[in-house]
């Protein structure tokens, strides 16, 4: 199993104005807004950070309010064509008492446009969606939503992506599912990214990255196209968000070190990282 190459990384408090070493910045998702700007969300804050991908302090870095139905976000996705942003709320009790995931949509100025539910029902509030990607395919908008936990398919536990398509009225309708292959059968799933028919999926507990390709016409997984990579060192046990910077480069963010985790994990928690995928 090949190891990802670390290009650079930084603690988030050093990049976000007004934050200090004591600030809680439990990063849960990241998306590339454009070639120079990354968006970061947090699972305990209704705020979105806008950061320069140089990972250096910049006057362009800022943190702005992002109202939604939840008390934070599990991931964020961006529409590179319109500059729209999509904040994923893991699960919220709906009007019928059922737990469902929601997506808060913002325009390029950060103004809330709508908050839409994703139809699937969950049994536990903290076992909903963990990853989100915005995809344009065959002229239509899609959302790819990654489930956190494995689910049973024909008696076998495996990962799953739920695919939603934008209806004429603007709602998100169930379209199909993508079942992850055996090599991506991780302990859990924490992040999802899509770019040019290429998927990347992260497991926090397994501390692994899986990369696979989709068929250009059908957007089904191409058998045998996937590969698994490990992070560089044992400090990366909290990666919660990921997105593509280029064909072989990824930007990631890490949550706060959890109780019971080794002290070494504090060196890379609440941070933003850039990794390169080695050649096969």
Sign for the pseudo-dihedral over CA of 11, 12, 14, 15? positive
Alpha-carbon Rg for the chain, nearest whole angstrom, is: 17
The Cα 175–Cα 124 span in angstroms is: 23
| 3-class SS of residue 256 | coil
Per-residue pLDDT for 190 more than 60? yes
**pLDDT by residue (tens digit) across 99-116?**
999 999 999 889 999 999
Reading the block at residue 258, the tokens are 């959890």
| CA–centroid distance for 265 within its chain | 20
Instruction: Count other Cβ atoms within 10 Å, centred on residue 233.
Output: 13
CA distance 213 to 222: 6
pLDDT value at residue 43? 92
26-30, 69-73, 230-234: least confidently modelled range = 69-73
Provide, rounded to the nearest whole percent, the portion of the chain with pLDDT above 90. Answer: 79
154 has pLDDT over 60: no
pLDDT at 70: 79
> Which pLDDT belongs to residue 38?
97
Tell me the residue ranges of DSSP E strands in 112-266: 112-122, 129-137, 140-147, 151-153, 156-158, 160-166, 172-179, 191-195, 198-203, 208-213, 227-230, 239-246, 249-254
Give the list of residues 6+ apart from residue 192 with CB closer than 8 angstroms, or none: 75, 130, 131, 132, 133, 144, 145, 146, 161, 199, 200, 201, 202, 242
pLDDT value for 238: 95
Q: Examine the pLDDT at 194 and tell me if it is beyond 60.
A: yes
Report the C-alpha gap between 94 and 13 in whole angstroms: 35
Distance of CA 86 to the CA centre of its chain: 11
- Mean pLDDT taken over the chain: 93
Q: How many CA atoms lie within 13 A of 100 on its CB side?
A: 15
> 57-73: per-residue pLDDT in tens?
999 999 999 988 878 99
Tell me what the mean pLDDT of segment 178-187 comes to.
91
Q: Is residue 172 very low, low, confident or very high in pLDDT (cuts 50, 70, 90)?
A: very high
Q: Is the pLDDT of residue 45 over 90?
A: yes
When pLDDT is cut at 50, 70 and 90, the band that residue 121 belongs to is: confident
DSSP code per residue over 129-160: EEEEEEEEETTEEEEEEEESS-EEETTEEE-E
72, two tokens: 């934070």
CATH 2.60.40 fits 2-276, yes or no: no
**Torsion angle in degrees (nearest 10) through CA of 25, 29, 33, 38:** 40
């Amino acid at each position: 199993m090949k190891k990802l190459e670390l290009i650079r990384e930084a603690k988030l408090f050093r990049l976000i104005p007004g934050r200090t070493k004591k600030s809680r910045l439990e990063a849960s998702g990241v998306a590339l807004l454009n070639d120079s700007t990354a968006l970061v969300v947090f699972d305990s804050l209704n705020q979105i950070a806008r950061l320069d991908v140089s990972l250096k302090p910049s006057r362009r870095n800022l943190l702005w309010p992002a109202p939604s139905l939840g008390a934070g976000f599990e991931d964020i996705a961006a529409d590179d064509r319109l500059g729209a942003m999509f904040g994923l709320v893991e699960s919220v009790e709906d009007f019928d008492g059922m737990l469902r995931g929601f997506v808060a949509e913002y325009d390029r100025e950060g103004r809330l446009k709508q908050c839409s539910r994703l139809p699937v029902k969950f049994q536990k509030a903290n076992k909903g969606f963990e990853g989100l990607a915005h995809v344009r395919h065959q002229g239509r908008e899609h959302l790819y939503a990654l489930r956190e936990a494995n689910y049973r398919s024909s008696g076998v536990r495996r990962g799953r992506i739920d695919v939603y398509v934008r209806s004429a009225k603007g709602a998100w309708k169930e379209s199909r599912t993508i079942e992850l292959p055996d090599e991506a059968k991780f302990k859990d799933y924490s992040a999802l990214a899509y770019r040019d028919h290429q998927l990347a999926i992260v497991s926090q507990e397994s501390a692994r990255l899986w990369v696979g390709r989709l068929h250009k016409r059908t957007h089904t997984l191409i058998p045998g196209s996937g590969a698994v990579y490990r992070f560089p060192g044992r400090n990366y046990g909290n990666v919660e968000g990921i997105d593509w910077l280029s064909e072989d480069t990824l930007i990631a963010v890490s949550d706060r070190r959890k109780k019971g985790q080794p002290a070494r994990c504090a060196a890379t928690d609440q941070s933003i990282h850039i990794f390169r995928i080695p050649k096969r």
